[in-house]
């Protein structure tokens, strides 16, 4: 199921009402962090809970916001995005050892990304599609700039 906070560009299902009690220190951290980011307290809690649950299930996967402002799954603490590894893995016809060697990462890290993809393929496929659109738009922009000064 796609997450409410929408890691990718997939449609979000309706939210579900839950009631939680938080330790006062946790609630204070949440309030302070919500002031720093452009998310409501509820959206931030939803995102952090969803990412935490995903990381609990897939310990080698982390989440960070990239330069484009999108939050994406990464392989461990590296800058390697899961979408990059999966796109390459598809190009290697699913050969995980070859893909790990290509990125010079340990085999368990590549296996972790493949396992994450098996559970959350819709999100990663949407990330790959977004990236492909972004690259096409940037190439088009560059071509227009070149033509403007030719």
pLDDT tens digits for 103-136?
Answer: 999 999 999 999 999 999 999 999 999 999 999 9
DSSP result, 72-104: EEEETTSS-BHHHHHHHHHHTTT-HHHHHHHHT
- Output the pTM of the full model: 0.81
Please report the pLDDT score of residue 17 as a whole number: 85
How many Å apart are CA 94 and CA 97, to the nearest integer?
9
Element (H, E) at 128: helix 121-148
**What residue ranges do the domains of the chain occupy?**
24-148
Which residues is 63 bridged to in the sheet?
73
Name residues whose C-beta falls within 8 Å of residue 97's C-beta, 6 or more positions apart in sequence: 107, 110
> pLDDT digit string (tens) for 39-98?
899 999 999 999 999 999 999 999 999 887 889 999 999 999 999 999 999 999 999 999
Q: Which two tokens stand for residue 44?
A: 């931030």
Residue 74, token pair as written in the block: 């990464």
Instruction: Report the pLDDT averaged over residues 26-31.
Output: 93
């Amino acid at each position: 199921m796609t997450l409410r906070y929408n890691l990718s560009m997939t449609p979000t299902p309706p939210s579900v009402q839950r009631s939680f009690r938080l330790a006062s220190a946790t609630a204070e951290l949440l309030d302070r962090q919500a002031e720093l980011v452009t998310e409501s307290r509820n959206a931030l809690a939803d995102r952090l809970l969803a990412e935490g649950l995903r990381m609990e299930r897939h310990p080698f996967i982390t989440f960070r916001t990239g330069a484009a402002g999108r939050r994406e799954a990464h392989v461990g603490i590296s800058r390697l995005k899961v979408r990059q590894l999966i796109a390459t893995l598809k190009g290697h016809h699913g050969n995980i050892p070859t893909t790990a060697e290509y990125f010079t990462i340990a085999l368990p890290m590549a296996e972790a990304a493949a396992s994450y993809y098996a559970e959350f393929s819709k999100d990663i496929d949407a990330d790959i599609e977004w990236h492909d659109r972004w690259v096409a738009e940037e190439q088009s922009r560059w071509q227009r700039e070149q033509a403007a000064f030719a």
